[in-house]
Structure 1
Amino acid sequence: MDSKFQLVALIGKYQTSGSSTVIAGSRAALEAVANFLHDQGCDVVLEADTARNMGMAGYPTLTVAQIGEQCDLGLVVGGDGTMLGIGRQLAAYGVPLVGINQGRLGFITDIPYDNFASCLSKMLQGEYVEDHRSLMNGRVMRAGHCVYTAMALNDVVVNRGATSGMVELRVEVDGHFVANQRADGLIIASPTGSTAYALSSGGPLLHPSIPGWVMVPIAPHTLSNRPIVLANTAHIAIEIVAGRDASASFDQQSLASLMLGDRIEVTRSNHHVRFLHPKGWSYFDTLREKLHWNEGVAST
């Protein structure tokens, strides 16, 4: 059977620790997907860290950069955290990504592992929906110099220290002063990240087609400090005015320690992530399933 995608990269969880049972289960899942892809006529490579961490020999391996340059498709077997990490790295190359969910939620790794064969067989023949998700650039400015930079697909979060009280943040949008906020922190989330930390902090859901971000305070001192939706063309600056041991996180996967006077600047990236979903996929189906909207309601 001829596949639309000839060279397919398999990417798994990056954990290097954990029980041998967990690692063996992840390795078995990757091997099952690899065997299926071979049967579909695809050439399969493993991402180098995945192969090393899972102890998988016998497959060609490529670095993430080589995957971006050579592969037609990236297939992630894991959870949303795994997809976030690889999505940021491959965005500049434009490689489409498909997610097979072995995690708990699966907002962006949306194909259940138990059903991967029936979904993938059609997708490999070109029956899929393409979904583009925007990225944000974040950087930490200190005394006029950039001391840290990272991209985020979900969110950029400024948090108070673990043992300290609230932080005071001066917020600007496009150079205009917005407010000084005292809170546990502040979230700048993309539509993709609106279902993550921002949602648990009281923020709204943003449909992926909306070119916007949501700014959500975390446990604000003043209850009138509410979430606000901004255009994703905005330049957002957050200055640390008061508070100890504050930090900035990017997709909860990279962290920068902050000092008083530091400015965290968030702008839109020129890159986006290409997700492929099964034909008939709907964002609302995902919300309904993952957020359990129909529980207790009779279906019609």
Structure 2
Amino acid sequence: MSEFHSIGLIGRHESDSAVQSLKRLKTFLEKGGYQVVLDNETAASFVADGVRVTSKEKLGELCDLVIVVGGDGSLLAAARALAKFSVPLLGINRGRLGFLTDISPDEIETKVGEVLAGKYMAESRFLLDMSVSREGKPIGKGSALNDVVIHPGEYIRMIEFDLFIDGQFVYTQRSDGLIISTPTGSTAYALSGGGPIMHPKLDAIVVVPLNPHTLSSRPIVVEGSSEFKIIIGDENVALPHVTCDGHEQFITQPGDVIRIHKKPHRLTLVHPIKHNFYETCRSKLNWQVK
């Protein structure tokens, strides 16, 4: 008997291919006797008579498993909303790269069926919490499964800031910005910025400067429990922006303080039984094989 009974579905409602996969998945699950629950946005994309509809956050309370149909961006959004509920996520790739959504659309019945039968791998990932304060008062907060990025926004100008890790001063930097990334995000924007690939099981965070004015400023890998404080410099022409997974955005001012640390709630990702991180890197990053 399956450990999963109520299954939530989240999909890219603006994508015709994702909607097709959602319909196929819904039919498969209902035939198997599972209760299907859709979030509001997903339900708006196709007629789903008799299916329970709720908010994305509520899925975490109602479901034993949530299946995300879309690209990595769709799974990142689901992770930010659902991590605090400890509901596992399974991804079906209807995006481009698909590092996190690793079941192909033509394998839905086979691979999802195996997961429901208990043949799967569970992987724990941590997220980051970010907050911005001004004159000691909070003005914004967000969370990220991939990364928190500080950048100049719409202007092509260097920005200046002070970086502290665990209360210790690291440097004053002038650059195009800074990426603070989890192991999950190390194969995303941080990789494009010259950061290292980190295995998902690592309890570590990488700090990647974006085009630093001092060329000796290189990526730094620190403990996952590290706490970061970034103080926006007084001499900035551009007002630095802060984004979480490229989604939530806050515009800072000189003197603002950004704090980043590990989120207390972890995310459980579900993979097919033969999932292999290195094979994923080979296929997605076009690594050479014999």
- The TM-score with structure 1 as length reference comes to 0.93
- The answer as to 2:179 corresponding to 1:180 is no
Match for residue 283 of structure 2?
Answer: 289
Match for residue 190 of structure 2?
Answer: 198
Query: Quick one: distance in 1 between partners of 2:4 and 2:190?
Result: 35
2:56 corresponds to which of 52, 61, 64: 64
Deviation at 1:14, TM superposition (A): 5.3
Match for residue 156 of structure 1?
Answer: 148
Query: Quick one: distance in 2 between partners of 1:5 and 1:161?
Result: 43
Query: Quick one: distance in 2 between partners of 1:153 and 1:56?
Result: 31
Query: Quick one: distance in 1 between partners of 2:77 and 2:29?
Result: 23
- The answer as to 2:269 corresponding to 1:263 is no
2:69 corresponds to which of 52, 67, 77: 77
- Size of the aligned set, in residue pairs, is 287
Query: Quick one: distance in 1 between partners of 2:11 and 2:153?
Result: 32
Deviation at 1:164, TM superposition (A): 4.2
Match for residue 103 of structure 1?
Answer: 95
Deviation at 1:57, TM superposition (A): 3.6
Deviation at 1:62, TM superposition (A): 1.8
Deviation at 1:251, TM superposition (A): 0.5
Deviation at 1:240, TM superposition (A): 1.1
For residues 46-102 of structure 1, what are the alpha-carbon distances to aligned partners after superposition, in whole Å with 9 as ceiling and x for unaligned? 1112112x1434132122232111111100000100000011111111101100000
Contact 1:214 1:227 in 2 (8 A): yes
Q: Aligned letter for 2:8?
A: A
Does the residue aligned with 1:210 lie in a helix, a strand or coil? coil
Q: Aligned letter for 2:254?
A: L
Match for residue 240 of structure 2?
Answer: 246
Deviation at 1:4, TM superposition (A): 2.9
Deviation at 1:25, TM superposition (A): 2.9
Query: Quick one: distance in 2 between partners of 1:39 and 1:289?
Result: 33
- The TM-score with structure 2 as length reference comes to 0.96
| Fraction of identical pairs, as percent | 40
Moved over 4 A (4+): none
Over aligned residues, Cα RMSD in angstroms? 1.3
Q: Aligned letter for 1:209?
A: K
Query: Quick one: distance in 1 between partners of 2:107 and 2:7?
Result: 19
Match for residue 170 of structure 1?
Answer: 162
Does the residue aligned with 2:209 lie in a helix, a strand or coil? strand
- The answer as to 2:55 corresponding to 1:51 is no
For residues 145-165 of structure 1, what are the alpha-carbon distances to aligned partners after superposition, in whole Å with 9 as ceiling and x for unaligned? 111011111000000132241
Does the residue aligned with 1:290 lie in a helix, a strand or coil? helix
Q: Aligned letter for 2:285?
A: L
For residues 6-52 of structure 1, what are the alpha-carbon distances to aligned partners after superposition, in whole Å with 9 as ceiling and x for unaligned? 1111100154xxxxxxx433322210111111222211111112112
Match for residue 19 of structure 1?
Answer: none
Query: Quick one: distance in 2 between partners of 1:14 and 1:268?
Result: 31
Structure 1: give runs of 5+ residues left out of the alignment. Answer: 16-22
Match for residue 139 of structure 1?
Answer: 131
Query: Quick one: distance in 2 between partners of 1:68 and 1:158?
Result: 30
Contact 2:132 2:140 in 1 (8 A): yes
Structure 2: give runs of 5+ residues left out of the alignment. Answer: none
